[in-house]
């Protein structure tokens, strides 16, 4: 069944179809309509779950951590400073290896206060041990929520599903609402390897010493460093889990794509524009325009950002002469984080300097600054012509 709704409702229906059992939420623009919709679904009896309103975002994720520790399928959502307020618990959820799913409706962070879209919130959390997936339209939002629960529960690592505030969260688009029976086949009930039980009290995640030691049963237990090593290894193995998830999704729903990157007219492209989220779809119009002018340009959207799909990215870019990265966030003091990751992937995967494309970085849309299609087109023209600085460039800034 196809419906026309906003992106927040698409996400809410994904959570409903996934049979999430515990929803904890604190309102923050532009995420609020998502959790409001979930509260309506639960109140009306359409969704069998516990909705827990809390006094802060920190508490929202704490509730999800507790619920997930007992074996419940848990969900929350946030934006901007709400995500930053969660930061301690974001680390905790990953370290505890809990398969929580959280939608991050991307918004600029303060100070100064700003309620409009950029990616600084989720990018600031890229090193917390969470999987990060970015959606470009409403169909991808609902599909990615379902995939997120599946992947999270397979590898026991939490997932952020990120999509652009207002641009996607509040706009209306048609999307297919999957059949519940199909979803149940794709995403069976969550069965954790271990869950807290009042009948068998236990302590979880107590103070862990630097070195390995024997536990109360006389068995060798991991030290803190081993625990972190295993999280890193399992994050890298998530790349395989994402491929397997995509295959099963295709079998169940009849639609699929590349779980790592989303190319558009890249097969013969001499130059490729890269980015996260909805800007990559806006860039498709630019590419079509430049193709008509005789410039062989393509677009590569990065869908899975953490773990970073370095092999897939390098393979998609290896034949290009140049790569132009557009980002709505900045690693302050250097450049855009995606640009750095792309360079690292190209450096490792394409060791021959003569074959490696040049890379240019453009920071755009910070704090909701309008990204004009004509400006994107002119930026690409000048970058291809070699008249743009190798340093980080700011698009649309007026200084």
- The DSSP string of 56-112 is SHHHHHHHHHHHHHTT--EEEEE-HHHHHHTHHHHHHHHHTT---EEEEEE---SSS
Choose the final residue of a domain: 152, 186, 220. Answer: 186
Residue 218 domain flag: no
Residue 328 domain flag: yes
Question: Coil, strand or helix: which one is 165?
Answer: coil
**What does the mean pLDDT of the chain come to?**
96
Least trusted range by pLDDT, from 202-211, 307-316, 361-370: 202-211
Quote the percentage of the chain above a pLDDT of 70.
99
Instruction: Tell whether 265 and 123 lie within a shared domain.
Output: no
Question: Coil, strand or helix: which one is 319?
Answer: coil
Q: Which residues have C-beta within 8 Å of that of residue 15, sequence separation ≥ 6?
A: 23, 38, 75, 101, 145
Average pLDDT over residues 172-196: 95
Instruction: Tell whether 269 and 143 lie within a shared domain.
Output: no
How many Å apart are CA 18 and CA 42, to the nearest integer? 14
Residue 110 domain flag: yes
pTM, full prediction: 0.96
Instruction: Tell whether 116 and 20 lie within a shared domain.
Output: yes
Q: Is the distance from CB of 183 to CB of 294 less than 8 angstroms?
A: no
Q: Which residues have C-beta within 8 Å of that of residue 317, sequence separation ≥ 6?
A: 272, 274, 300, 323, 342, 346, 357
| Domain extent for 49 | 2-186
User: Would the pLDDT of 354 be above 70?
Assistant: no
Residue 336 domain flag: yes
Q: Which residues have C-beta within 8 Å of that of residue 292, sequence separation ≥ 6?
A: none
Residue 337 domain flag: yes
Per-residue pLDDT of 33-76, as tens digits, reads 999 999 999 999 999 999 999 999 999 999 999 999 999 999 99
Residue 210 domain flag: no
Of the two residues 195 and 326, the one the predictor is more confident about is 326
Instruction: Tell whether 147 and 291 lie within a shared domain.
Output: no
Q: Is the distance from CB of 168 to CB of 278 less than 8 angstroms?
A: yes
CATH of the domain at 367: 3.40.50.920
């Amino acid at each position: 069944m196809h419906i026309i709704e906003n992106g927040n409702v698409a996400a809410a229906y994904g959570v409903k179809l996934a049979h999430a059992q515990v929803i904890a939420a604190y309102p923050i623009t532009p995420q609020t309509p998502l959790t409001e919709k979930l509260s309506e679904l639960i109140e009306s009896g359409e969704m069998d779950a516990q909705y827990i309103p809390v006094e802060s975002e920190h508490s929202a994720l704490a509730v999800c951590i507790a619920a997930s520790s007992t074996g419940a399928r848990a969900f929350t959502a946030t934006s901007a400073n709400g995500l930053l307020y969660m930061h301690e618990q974001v680390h905790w959820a990953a370290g505890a290896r809990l398969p929580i799913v959280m939608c991050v409706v991307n918004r600029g962070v303060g100070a100064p206060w700003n309620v409009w879209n950029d990616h600084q919130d989720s990018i600031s959390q890229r090193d917390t041990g969470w999987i990060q997936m970015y959606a470009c339209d409403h169909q991808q939002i609902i599909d990615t929520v379902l995939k997120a629960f599946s992947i999270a529960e397979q590898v026991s690592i939490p997932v952020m599903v990120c999509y652009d505030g207002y641009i996607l969260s509040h706009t209306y688009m048609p999307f297919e609402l999957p059949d519940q029976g199909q979803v149940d086949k794709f995403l069976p009930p969550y069965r954790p390897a271990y869950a807290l039980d009042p009948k068998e009290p236990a302590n979880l995640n107590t103070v862990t010493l630097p070195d390995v030691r024997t536990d109360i049963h006389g068995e060798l237990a991991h030290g803190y460093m081993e625990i972190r090593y295993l999280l890193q290894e399992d994050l890298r193995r998530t790349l395989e889990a994402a491929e397997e998830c995509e295959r099963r999704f295709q079998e169940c729903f009849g639609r699929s794509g590349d779980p790592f990157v989303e190319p558009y007219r890249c097969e013969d492209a001499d130059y490729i524009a890269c980015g996260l989220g909805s800007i990559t779809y806006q860039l498709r119009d630019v590419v079509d325009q430049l193709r008509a002018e005789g410039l062989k340009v393509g677009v590569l959207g990065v869908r899975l950002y953490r773990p970073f799909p370095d092999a897939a990215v390098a393979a998609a870019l290896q034949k290009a002469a140049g790569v132009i990265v557009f980002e709505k966030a900045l690693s302050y003091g250097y450049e855009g984080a995606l640009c750095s990751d792309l360079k690292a992937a190209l450096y490792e995967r394409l060791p021959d300097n003569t074959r490696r494309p040049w890379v240019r970085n453009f920071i755009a849309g910070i704090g909701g600054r309008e990204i004009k299609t004509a400006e994107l087109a002119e930026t690409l023209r000048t970058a291809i012509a070699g008249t743009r600085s190798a340093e980080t460039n700011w698009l649309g800034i007026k200084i």
